Structure 1
Amino acid sequence: MTVPRSIDRILSDQIGLWSLQQREGVARRSYRPIITISRTYGARGAELARILGERLDFSVWDREIVHAIAEKRGEDKRLLETLDEHRRSQVDETVRSLVLGTSATNAGYLKSLLRVVRTISQHGSAIIVGRGANFAVSSERALRVRVDAPLEWRTAGLAHRFGWSLDKARREAVRMDAERDDFVRHSFRSDPKQPAHYDLVLNPEYLSMEQIADIVEAAYEARFSPVKTLEFA
């Protein structure tokens, strides 16, 4: 797979920043836990991530970026090398335990994906959208959010956004929901629809994205503030 130039640039810039922080010891002093956002298709989870990223000054890693890095050979290890030796070992140990028992057809990709997500989590100050990230990170180091809304509401929004008929919008929503659910079930042996897997489950049907972001931000600050330096034991 050829990774788009913009993603290559995003990755290079982030690696450069993390490497500099690692040398200067900044990352350990100012660590802030991440936010993961799971979403049904059309529930506007990516928009929520963008708003929160701007408010909190967090990097935003959407599904396409994480997927592209995981698929490109060696990029997961480039990210991993921005951590010190102790934290690299932590990530590798966790990846091995999570991949254990996974089918061979998916194990290579999943291993790379987990390295990417766990490395981002170790650095902190980030939002990861999709790819089952909430199942890949420690609940102590993440606020796990799911955004869901009734199918009819999502169908109407998709039809308006893309100029689709209602029938096509519904089909796409059902198809994408099934693909995302299947990926999580196959990769993490978990049901992404179960609310117990999340700290917040939010419905944007009667709330604006700004209001949803207010709720997430308040929950994050209540849980993780005042910011403390976390030990990577």
Structure 2
Amino acid sequence: MKNRVITISREFGSGGRTIGKKVAEQLGIPCYDSELIQKIAEESGFDAKFVQEAGEYAPGGFLSNLSSRTFGPTNEDYLWKIQYQIISRLAGQGPCVIVGRCADYILRDKADCLRVFIHADAQFRARRIVQEYGERAESPEQRLRDKDKRRAAYHRFYTNMKWGHAQNYDLTLNSGTLGIDKCVEIIRDLY
């Protein structure tokens, strides 16, 4: 029997992380999210906070390109290589849910993989991030735009694919319309 892996990509505030954890819990399989960041940090020698932040910023810009031509690969490129290896290894070890980190792309040809994208309208997500993460100086809407922009740029840089476009996933779910629990049920039933 082939390994069955579920990857969850998500818009910020859509509940993708929560959905992934609940799906894994109900299926009795591991979920890798913050655990993945910790594994990358351990293997790379970088601080977990740096790994987390680097995973949402695409290398780029004039100075970065000049630097990489002069001195070789960037720290972000090194982290991408380690991330790629770890995700591939985890998928090879057995069934699991992997949240974010371009796992949908990394496992596109390596595992029996259900690639899911979770999205919702801005109002639902803004309300949810305030409930989950609290108020901040910047507005919830600005936080959504900034985080989604970074995720899209990172995904595009390393995969050359458009993040969030339905044709790149097996399933896209609107958690604002369906609700978190219904999304969990749908994914679980497709497993």
Over the matched positions of the two proteins, sequence identity in percent amounts to: 21
Q: Indicate the residue corresponding to 1:104 in structure 2.
A: 73
Task: Give the conservation status (yes or no) of the 8 Å contact 1:70–1:113.
Answer: yes
Q: Report the structure number with the largest CA radius of gyration.
A: 1
Task: Give the conservation status (yes or no) of the 8 Å contact 1:71–1:112.
Answer: no
Query: What aligned pairs does 1:154-233 form with structure 2 within 5 A after superposition?
Result: 154-164=125-135, 168-220=139-191
- Please report how far the alpha carbon of residue 31 of structure 1 lies from its aligned counterpart in structure 2 after TM superposition: 4.8
- Please report how far the alpha carbon of residue 166 of structure 1 lies from its aligned counterpart in structure 2 after TM superposition: 10
Superposed CA deviations along residues 107-148 of structure 1, whole A, max 9, x for unmatched, are 321110110000111112110000010000035511001100
Q: Indicate the residue corresponding to 2:22 in structure 1.
A: 51
- Please report how far the alpha carbon of residue 65 of structure 1 lies from its aligned counterpart in structure 2 after TM superposition: 2.3
Q: Answer yes or no: is 1:133 the counterpart of 2:111.
A: no
Superposed CA deviations along residues 139-158 of structure 1, whole A, max 9, x for unmatched, are 55110011001112211222
- Distance in 2 (CA, whole Å) between partners of 1:41 and 1:138 is 23
Structure 2 portions without partners, runs of 5+: 46-71
Q: Indicate the residue corresponding to 1:11 in structure 2.
A: none
Task: Give the conservation status (yes or no) of the 8 Å contact 1:148–1:201.
Answer: yes
Comparing 166-175 with 122-131, greater Cα deviation is found at 166-175
Instruction: Give the counterpart of 1:39 among 7, 10, 17.
Output: 10
Change (3 A) 1:165 1:114: closer
Could you state the TM-score of these two structures normalised by the residue count of structure 1? Answer: 0.64
Could you state the TM-score of these two structures normalised by the residue count of structure 2? Answer: 0.77
Instruction: Give the counterpart of 1:118 among 72, 88, 93.
Output: 88
- Distance in 2 (CA, whole Å) between partners of 1:54 and 1:163 is 26
- Please report how far the alpha carbon of residue 163 of structure 1 lies from its aligned counterpart in structure 2 after TM superposition: 3.5
- Distance in 1 (CA, whole Å) between partners of 2:162 and 2:188 is 26
Change (3 A) 1:162 1:112: closer
The 3-state SS of whatever aligns with 2:139 is helix
- Please report how far the alpha carbon of residue 210 of structure 1 lies from its aligned counterpart in structure 2 after TM superposition: 1.6
Q: Indicate the residue corresponding to 2:32 in structure 1.
A: 61
- Please report how far the alpha carbon of residue 183 of structure 1 lies from its aligned counterpart in structure 2 after TM superposition: 1.2
Task: Give the conservation status (yes or no) of the 8 Å contact 1:159–1:166.
Answer: no
Q: Indicate the residue corresponding to 1:24 in structure 2.
A: none
Residue identity matched to 2:79: Y
- Distance in 2 (CA, whole Å) between partners of 1:73 and 1:117 is 12
- Distance in 2 (CA, whole Å) between partners of 1:138 and 1:158 is 30
**Structure 1: which 4+ aligned runs deviate by more than 6 Å?**
none
Task: Give the conservation status (yes or no) of the 8 Å contact 1:148–1:204.
Answer: yes
